[in-house]
Amino acid sequence: MRHRMVRESGGRPQERNDGGPGPTRLGGQDRFADQEEFSRRTLAALDFPVYGVTAGPARRGEALAAFETCGGELCWVEVQCGDWTSAAGPYVTVRTYRPGAEHVELLPELEDVVEDERDRVYEQLGIDEGDGPGRVRALREWITVDGEPCAVEVHEDRPVAPGGAQPGGAQSAGPVWAGRLRVGGLTVTVCGRGVAPSGVELGGIGDFERYLSGRTDLLSDLASRRARYVPVEERELPPVTGLEAHRELIAQSIAETAAIEAQVRVGRTPRLPRALRGDACAVRWETVVRQQMRLATETREEAAAAVTSMVNHLNRLSQQTHWLIGTSAGEAAVEEVVRYTVFASEVASVPAQRAWEQLWRERPGGGGAAVWEEHQLAEQLWLAAWEQWRARRG
């Protein structure tokens, strides 16, 4: 069994109207103390060296970032240092894998390490540095380890926004880079922003106390930021009319599915584009649920279930057919699914709508491809109903 303590996300903070609660309630302090003690006990069982930054512009703000255990053994430990509150940095993370880890499972590609760092900036600071590669360079650099220069291959990515604008606004920095090196039989991955690889000096960590207290400070700061965030369910949102919000949500959801499928096809780690995440997407979902409640005279629970089924219906149809996107038949299908969901209208595709209701209702829990494999016959009947509808349209 794996246990992973991951880097905390702060959401996209927004100001509260009422000033919100204080930075940390007593219960939060107790929770942070418990987490710190758990991390302390876990790290006490370390049986391999862990590296951190010992010199350079990022040598401050040290904190334990994350670790993962498997079968009671630590698989890797990651520490961070620098200014995590600024996309300009300097900021560096160092992840040390236990000996032989590279023979047990595939380590993340350096491109994914860079994207993980961009995800952190988006989730904790609300800064979107753009998706996909910018101006990518593969470099041979030197990082000092225990006083000795060590050669390292570096993947550097400079984000490029349309028109040459800097993604994320004035705070956004230049390149983010990641490199991997071998140190005394260990694999170490380093990622940085606002500091060159040659400006990073690594050394073994003898005492984790400052990293543990640094993580507690980090968690407290992130909790304070989250406390100022107003959940979309509690906000007053602009009113909408008609069914346009439903249509926009469907378009967004299909775009999400297509983006992830494209990444899987080229062998990349599935990662939802940042433009399709975050607060704006949550607001769109909440807007549709409220409109569904109003137009269909449903409770929140009923409306949420109906919208979920609607989105999954058209997502699955986009995956299983070639005609849903970019054709007049596809536009008509979307319109009929929306009208059936909201008004239970006697649309021409009612047989397909009812076949989907049965398929969705009888799906086993857990989701994933296995859901559809176990219900191939029901899915074939549902797809056949759509094809009959399309044939009748001429």
Do residues 248 and 342 share a domain? yes
The whole-number pLDDT of residue 391 equals 96
Domain end position, chosen among 204, 227, 250: 227
Do residues 126 and 27 share a domain? yes
Do residues 206 and 267 share a domain? no
The whole-number pLDDT of residue 5 equals 53
Question: Under 8 Å CB-to-CB from 73, ≥6 apart: which residues?
Answer: 47, 98
Q: Could you give the number of structural domains in the chain?
A: 2
Do residues 273 and 302 share a domain? yes
Do residues 122 and 106 share a domain? yes
| pTM of the predicted protein model | 0.72
List, for residues 311-362, the tens digit of each pLDDT value: 999 999 999 999 999 999 999 999 999 999 999 999 999 999 999 999 998 8
356: nearest Cα among 309, 297, 307: 309
Domain end position, chosen among 192, 227, 262: 227
Q: Are 158 and 178 in contact, with CB atoms under 8 Å apart?
A: no
Mean pLDDT of 170-198: 86
List, for residues 50-78, the tens digit of each pLDDT value: 999 998 887 889 999 999 998 888 999 99
Residue 116 DSSP code: H
Do residues 217 and 244 share a domain? no
Do residues 60 and 87 share a domain? yes
The whole-number pLDDT of residue 377 equals 86
120-129, 173-182, 257-266: least confident range: 257-266
Domain end position, chosen among 200, 227, 254: 227
Rounded mean pLDDT of the chain?
A: 84
Do residues 265 and 169 share a domain? no
Judged against a pLDDT cut of 50, whether residue 11 lies above it is answered with: no
Do residues 378 and 242 share a domain? yes
Do residues 220 and 243 share a domain? no
Do residues 248 and 173 share a domain? no
Amino acid at 360: W
Residue 198 to residue 135: CA distance in whole angstroms? 20
Percent of the chain with pLDDT over 70: 85
Q: Which domain holds residue 197?
A: 2-227
Mean pLDDT of 180-184: 92
